[in-house]
Each structure stands twice: as C-alpha cells, then as structure tokens.
Structure 1
C-alpha cells in the first residue's frame, strides 16, 4: 500500500512539474527565450518570416486571421509567423507586434488603430517598445516679424497617441518624429475594469504635404504580470513541490515579468544597470523635443545600489537668460514673480552634483552639456523632464541624451566617478 501511494505521489509530482514547465515555456519572454521548439503552437513570441528579415508574431493560423494579420512563414510545426501590418487590429496575446501597412501617397492620410486587451487578470502593465518609429516631426507656427516667441513644437501632422480605454485618467503624450528605440509604460488593472489600451496613428496626407517623410513603425507591446495573492495561493502546491529545484524553467510568468515591472509613476523604465536614454524626438541630436511634456524616466534600484551616474552625450535645452548658470530657479520661475512668459523647460535630477562640484536639481540651457553627474537620492532613481509651450527664436531645443550607470559606492567624490 505504501509503495502504491509513493508511486502515485511521484507520478503527481512529475505531472505537476511538466504542466508548470509547459505553462512557463508558453509565456516565456524574449529576454529568457531559449531556442524555439518545433512544437510551438502560437505563444505570441517574436518570429521571422520566410525571408528571414520580416518580423512577426507567432500565432495559430486562426488567431492570425482573426486579428487581420498575414502569414509570412512558420514557427514550429503548428503555428504561423503572423505579420500584423493591417489597421483596426484587436489582440490579447502576451506579445503583440504591429507594423505599418504599406503607405504611399494614395494611402496616406489614414487613421490606424490597434486594440490590445489584457491577456489575463494578472496583467498590470503594458510595455510599448518602438522598434521602429518614424513620423513627421513636431512643428511650430511660422515666425512673425518683431515677435521672438512662438508656441512650442507639437505634433500637428502625424500623431501617435495611446488611450487607456476603460481608465482614461492617465495622460499619455502625443508623440511624433524619430523615436526609434524608445519605449513607454501603460498601467492596466482588471479589478478597476482597465482591461485594454488603444494605440492610434493619425497620418497626414502626403498628397497635400509631399515634403513630409514617409511614416513607418514597428511597435511591440508586451503584457507584464504582477504578483497577486490568489495566484500565489493557487501556485502554492507547485512552489512547495519545486522549491528545491532550479527556478529558471519553473518560475511563474509574474516571476519572469518582475524584472520589467516599472515603479508607479514612471512613463519610462530602464531595469539594466547601465545603458542610455534620450528625449523624445532626439533625432540624433537634431531635435526638437516635444512641447507640453511632463514625465519621469526611472531606473532600477536594487539593495546594493546607492545612486546613479549620468554621462552627458548631448544636452541642449531652452533657457531664460544668458546671465545665469541654467540651474534650479534659473530654469523654473516662481509664479508670484513670473511676469512675462519665459522658458521653463528643464530636466530634474534629484540630489545631483557634477564632476565640477556644481550642485542643483533642475538643469536647462547647456548646464548638463559635457558633464558627468552623480545623483544620490535617498529614494527612487529617476529623472523628470518638463517642457512648456514656448519657443524663443535663436534658442535651440534639441533635447538630450545620457549614458547611465548605477552606483554601489557613493562615498567617493563625484570627480572620481
């Protein structure tokens, strides 16, 4: 009897591990993805078409047809590599890829929308990666004689906007221009009925504006799962069984997504210990950045991290006067004494100190140009960008690009970093 019970227990453990492993493999993110299996059945991961250059998403043929996609190859035996280059697509896959439809002068002047619905109730964020993003640049009005100030650069021709369909309380800026490699986060929450987002492109007519550049995009949307009490309770028996086994193939989707989950309030999030970030429409230093933006770019703070170092590759923002240091109150005016409209564009870096010993928090003009800046705040690691709706003639608004490295020793002087 004991032998029979032990045998049944072993079978149960093997079956539970197999089920858990299969579930984990079906939702593996690109970061953890191993070699593709020939038994892939359509898990929403990225794939290449038959030409080995065109990207798509691995889906069942039925899913591809339902979402208005086009089969461009195979992934495994049972799935197709699906190119979602049509408009008005609706999907709920773990990873979705949206590619612009063929655009020419005859087909421009269109509106293209993609609806992404949450994959399951554990999804708490969606990360939108702009693998390719080239739209018409932001513009301002033509200059008027004897008038030195104009409205800021905004998206007036091509416009990309994200809408959180059921919870429209969050503000997502309208974007345009060159944003290759950029990304942003959108919060969703099944418990508050925030279950989907819409990505919307409005493309200007090239017949009437033939000088505008061709619009192209390739957008990846990854649904990220957060831990929840119910899920942990449900998986408790599997955790007990597999607690002594290697965790890589047996962790839950939420375990693997945790690395990419952004802190609250962050439009952008960089979890790696080093990398680079830049303003929207940085455009290889040509800019200009977009008016009326206010958002936080955040970085991962692990227990061993005490701060972050920023190395300026380029920094060129608006300023009020040549007779200041372009720091703090030089960048933002007290409303009580503001008077005439003046520039209030700045990049906020908390508890910042440059290699030259200059201390401040708000940087504008060229104050961060060619600088190494250490930020050692007691709390989260982030920068905050603010742009107003004002352009002054002959004062460039090109934007910024920084390399960053998190620090695990903040007792050295910043000049030694």
Structure 2
C-alpha cells in the first residue's frame, strides 16, 4: 500500500524588468530551482490577473515597465507518495509507515517519523478480547508494560490481512507466565494456546526470545486465535507477542511442518521454557525445528550450549534424574539405553571425528543427560548431512519417578560447507 501527502507551497517572487522579460520567466526561475519537478500547470494569463487587480498595470511592448515592482504569489499543490513499509518507532518497536490520518483510522498510535518526515511510524498494540488484521501487531497483557497478576483468559483473534498470507509468525518479545508443575512438568496453571491453525503444543513458563510459525492455510480461511490462560497462585505475568503475517511467496516462509524456523549459517535453538538454572522441560511436546539450508552448505553440526550456572552442564537433559550425571542414550526401543519416551531426533547423527563402519546404522534419537550420538558420558559435536536440516522434539506427559528436573535442551548449530568432505 502507498500513503499520499498533499503539500501547499507558497512562493513569493519580486519581478523586475531587468531580470524578467516575460510572464513565463517566473515559471522558468522556479523550474531551475527544482520547485516544479514533475509538476505541471495550466497556461495562466498573468497579464489578465494583474490588470484586473490594478487597471494601471497594462502590458506595453511585450514587457512590464522597469519602474514597476510587484509581488507575485503562486500556490503549488504537490502530492508526495511513500510505501507503507516497515519502520522502527521511537520506542524501538516495529511499525508501519503511514500518514497520521491512516494511523488513527486503523487504530494505531504514532511513534516517531518515517519517509523523510512525511510519514509517521504507526504501532499497532492490542490486548484481551480484540481482533486484528494488521501486520506487525503486538499482543500484550492487560496493563502492559506493567505485569499482570490475575486469573482468567486473554485472547486475540488474528485475521489474515490478505488471502495470499500462508503463515503467521509469533515472536515472544516478552513471555513470562507461571511454569509447569514440578512432578510431570505439565502446564496446568498458566498456558499459552494457539488454535485455528496447525496443531501446536501448549507451552508455559519463560519463553522470551523464542518464536512459533503457525500455518494459516491458503486463501480465505478461519482466523487464528491466541489465548493466554492464567490461574492458580499469584504471579507477575507479562507478555508481548509480535504477530507477522507471511505471504506464500515470501523467502521468509518456513518449510512445511516447522514450528520453529531458523536462518543463517550459525545460530542457537532451544526447547520452550529452557533455562539451565530453573527451567523445566515441558511435557506433551511434539514439533519440528528447522534450519534453512544456506547456499553451498551440505551438512550441519550441533553442540550443547555452554552452561555457566551449574557445575555440570544441564544444556541437554531430557531423560533420567539430572540432579546427577546421566549418560547419552540413543535409538528407539524399550531397552534401558534407548529413547522410548522423550527424545530429540537428529537424522542420521554421528559424532564429529568418529569414523563410522561402512554398514553402520544411523543414530536418530538422542536423549539422556549428555548430548552425543553414542552411549557416552562425554558431550560431543554431532553432525547430520540429511537434507533438509530438521530436528524433531518429542516429550510425553510423564516424568516422575524416573525423569527428574530435566531442563530440556539448548544447542548451537553451524552449517558445514560442501567442500568440507560433506555430501
């Protein structure tokens, strides 16, 4: 979309016989100054206008007498257009550049200038019981930026801004609600629920910096609803969720089946509510995590994030009692060292630097308390060359009495060039 601004320019020019030889000279002077760029005007009868104003001013011999000095006023109407693109508001929030009237009509609030001062950065922020079709809307708790301490349901209905929108990305700029109960790690007090799109697991706890992709379907489909449910004990809750609508043809569109989608040669990915000090792995999780394969890269390596809080790393703790050392468990099945209940699937994973037998079977599931593609107490860097780059996380609804205080996972990834003997 494009916004338009109408400008009125008032020009004052004193005309003299020694520098103006005809009524059109003023027009030429303005053109030389850039005033008339891309603006056209009718052929005006300057003499008639002057003579009507003052009969003594008659044209003689095709010029104005040198003894006369008259002020001339010319009103110029210019239309300035600028696209309704993204902009950064004075508060640091992202908005849409538009005119003040458009911003007010559409329910936004002006937050700084854009388009060289011709437009305003319009921020859309809404809370409980409302709906929005504006791209870039922020969904916040009641009373934001203050925290919320109460029980109830706060929902927002997201309507497609255009039938060509295929996905909705949710960025959790702020996300602190009550975490799961400590026994089986179920979100039974506070919950964040997404409905109307693809199946998405319920989450809770602290998830600031995380994101989700919601499948919005093709064409005109039912809206997506975002709901925060708060209950139970008193708690200082705060949330601010940025909503971005992604067209089907966008290069930022996530691959199908990816709840989380990362881009770039390197980065970091985490399970929801991960925190090495106090976070708990959430139960009832089942979703895909994808990394876009960049050009000329054929493999990807994963390494557990540094843990500067505990004396023993808890950056990968999915199974067992993580209050003590737990070895890596691999593969599917019901044996003691298999991953039968909770796991992270890394397609055909191998430890970097380990030469595998020619007929070795791929390791897919990894769990336990150590990140490694082998049964080991030593963490390793794990390589996968299966394309596209995709992980899958699964957690059931039971933790105790075997699984205790697991944190989930945090992994750093680095894509590997095709020239590094990676096929």
- TM-score if structure 1 supplies the norm length? 0.66
Q: How much has 1:123 moved relative to structure 2? A: 1.0
CA separation of 1:122 and 1:269: change in aligned 2, threshold 3 A: same
Say if 2:139 is the partner of 1:98: yes
Deviations 1:83-116 (A, max 9, x none): 5143222221232222222177986213211111
Give distance in 1, aligned partners of 2:176 and 2:247: 30
How many residues end up aligned between the 2 structures?
A: 314
SS for the counterpart of 1:326 is strand
Say if 2:399 is the partner of 1:402: no
Say if 2:366 is the partner of 1:363: yes
CA separation of 1:64 and 1:112: change in aligned 2, threshold 3 A: farther
**Which residue is 1:144 aligned to?**
none
SS for the counterpart of 1:161 is strand
Larger radius of gyration: 2
Give distance in 2, aligned partners of 1:217 and 1:372: 35
Q: How much has 1:343 moved relative to structure 2? A: 6.0
Q: Give the gaps of 5 or more residues in structure 2.
A: 1-37, 39-79, 306-314, 357-361, 373-378
Higher relative contact order (CA 8 A, sep 6+): 1
Give distance in 1, aligned partners of 2:190 and 2:399: 20
Q: How much has 1:389 moved relative to structure 2? A: 1.1
- The counterpart of 1:82, out of the listed 120, 123, 139, is 123
Q: How much has 1:74 moved relative to structure 2? A: 3.9
- The counterpart of 2:348, out of the listed 348, 351, 363, is 351
Say if 2:156 is the partner of 1:114: yes
Q: How much has 1:56 moved relative to structure 2? A: 5.9
**Which residue is 2:209 aligned to?**
181
Give distance in 1, aligned partners of 2:120 and 2:217: 30
SS for the counterpart of 1:307 is strand
Q: How much has 1:138 moved relative to structure 2? A: 1.1
Say if 2:246 is the partner of 1:215: no
Kept in 2: contact 1:348–1:361 (CA 8 A): yes
**Which residue is 1:266 aligned to?**
258
Q: How much has 1:189 moved relative to structure 2? A: 2.4
Deviations 1:223-264 (A, max 9, x none): 11123xxxxxxxxxxxxxxxxxxxxxxxxxxxxx31x21111
- The counterpart of 1:198, out of the listed 209, 218, 225, is 225
**Which residue is 1:12 aligned to?**
none
Q: How much has 1:284 moved relative to structure 2? A: 4.2
**Which residue is 1:295 aligned to?**
287
Say if 2:193 is the partner of 1:161: yes
Q: How much has 1:118 moved relative to structure 2? A: 1.2
Q: How much has 1:48 moved relative to structure 2? A: 2.9
- The CA RMSD measured in Å over matched residues stands at 3.4
Higher strand fraction (1 or 2): 2
Q: How much has 1:325 moved relative to structure 2? A: 4.9
Q: How much has 1:318 moved relative to structure 2? A: 1.1
Give distance in 1, aligned partners of 2:164 and 2:101: 25
**Which residue is 1:392 aligned to?**
400
**Which residue is 1:235 aligned to?**
none
**Which residue is 1:234 aligned to?**
none
Give distance in 1, aligned partners of 2:206 and 2:161: 30
Q: How much has 1:65 moved relative to structure 2? A: 6.1
Deviations 1:302-356 (A, max 9, x none): 4522110111112111149999751113xx438xx9xxxx961111101111136
Give distance in 2, aligned partners of 1:364 and 1:57: 42
Give distance in 2, aligned partners of 1:316 and 1:391: 12
CA separation of 1:114 and 1:351: change in aligned 2, threshold 3 A: same
SS for the counterpart of 1:364 is strand
SS for the counterpart of 1:352 is strand
Deviations 1:48-95 (A, max 9, x none): 35xx36x363466677667766x3634445446435143222221232
Give distance in 2, aligned partners of 1:365 and 1:156: 25
SS for the counterpart of 1:397 is coil
Give distance in 2, aligned partners of 1:133 and 1:105: 11
Q: Give the gaps of 5 or more residues in structure 1.
A: 1-14, 16-37, 142-151, 228-256
Give distance in 1, aligned partners of 2:267 and 2:351: 19
**Which residue is 1:373 aligned to?**
382
Give distance in 2, aligned partners of 1:107 and 1:307: 46
Kept in 2: contact 1:294–1:387 (CA 8 A): yes
Kept in 2: contact 1:125–1:224 (CA 8 A): yes
